[in-house]
Amino acid sequence: MLTGAGISAESGVPTFRDADGLWEGHRVEDVATPEAYDLKPTTVHRFYDARRAALLLVEPNQAHHALARLEESFGEQLLVVTQNIDDLHERAGSSRVLHMHGELNSALCRGCRQRSPWTSDLVDHPPCPRCGVSELRPDVVWFGEIPYEMERIHHALLRADLFVSIGTSGAVYPAAGFVQAAASYGARTLELNLQPSEGTDFFAEARHGPAGELVPAWVESLLSR
Ligand code: BV8
């Protein structure tokens, strides 16, 4: 299972595309690159501190809850790889979740390179809970950086017999290339998205509509077999 911003849209978390490529008024390259952080750390911190605080105002939706139900039945056979940095999959009850682009509720120390759970602001340069140095940055994967868990993801793609993509535009790599990899290893492929994604032609089947409707219906059809 691969998920993107579209699965959290109905929870009130803005997607990237529906803001005309602007993230809350910021150009992507101005807030989501290591270069931007070196140039304007306060702007970048404010951007992620605001998104972290906004997480407290939203709840998982029917699509998140349906995937948590699916995990109850499929257990180890199901893996959710998400591009999202929100915590809505886990708050809905999913535990088998890989955040390939990092998490808002985590901080990465540029001193000791360790990750620490973090739920408050970073703009005031608090000390790292592990090494005490004030070198904490948002624990998100910026453009030009290597995504997390690529080995586990490739292992799962190799073994998958069903690859389902939910709420993603297929515009950002390496995630956008997973459907072709899964298909080449013999998996059936299904896209569940509001509208055809940039990679829609790579999927054997596609259903278009809001995730809050499509995902529960698809999960029920799977569980009622
Ligand atoms: C890397 C964290 C090397 C930060 C993010 C040229 C060609 C190919 C690739 C590149 C290239 N130039 C540069 C690259 C690489 C670059 C890239 O892909 N650039 C793009 C722009 C061309 N990628 C990287 O830099 C990556 N690193 O490549 O390292 C490497 C490669 C392989 C192996 C090892 C090393 C790192 C990329 C990660 C960047 N960080 N996020 C943050 O969140 O602030 S990316 C961020 O943007 C998200 O995580 C996500 O990945 C992406 C947004 O995409 P979506 O989630 O799909 O959201 P979007 O708004 O676009 O679409 C929403 C979709 O939902 C739409 O289709 C819409 O129709 C649908 N929808 C809306 N509402 C609903 C809905 N669907 C259902 N229901 C609804 N209600």
Token pair belonging to 91: 């708050």
Decide if 100 is inside a domain: yes
pLDDT digits (tens, 9 = 90+) for 64-121: 999 999 999 999 999 999 999 999 999 999 999 999 999 999 999 999 999 999 999 9
Location of structure tokens 């993603």: 168
* Residues in the ligand 1 pocket, defined by CB under 6 Å: 4-6, 9-10, 15-17, 32, 83, 85, 101, 140-147, 150, 167-169, 171-175, 193-195, 197, 210-211
Cβ partners under 8 Å of residue 177, min gap 6: none
- What is the spatial distance between Cα 76 and Cα 29, in angstroms, rounded to a whole number? 37
Other C-beta atoms lying within 10 Å of the C-beta of residue 151: 8
Q: For residue 68, which phi and psi values (nearest 5 degrees)?
A: -65, -40
Output DSSP code: residue 8.
T
Decide if 192 is inside a domain: yes
Q: For residue 162, which phi and psi values (nearest 5 degrees)?
A: -140, 125
- What is the spatial distance between Cα 50 and Cα 41, in angstroms, rounded to a whole number? 14
pLDDT digits (tens, 9 = 90+) for 12-38: 998 886 655 556 677 776 889 999 999
Decide if 123 is inside a domain: no
What's the CATH number where 97 sits? 3.40.50.1220
Decide if 151 is inside a domain: yes
Q: Which amino acid is at 172?
A: V
181 annotated as a binding-site residue: no
Catalytic positions, please?
A: 101
How many domains does the chain divide into?
A: 1
**Model confidence at 42, in pLDDT bands (50, 70, 90)?**
very high
SS3 content of the chain, % helix, strand, coil (to 5): 40, 20, 40
pLDDT digits (tens, 9 = 90+) for 174-201: 999 999 999 999 999 999 999 999 999 9
Q: What is the position in ligand 1's atom list of the atom closest to the CA of 4?
A: 56
Q: Supply the range of the domain harboring residue 40.
A: 2-110+143-223
Output DSSP code: residue 187.
-
Decide if 120 is inside a domain: no
Predicted confidence at residue 194, as pLDDT, reads 98
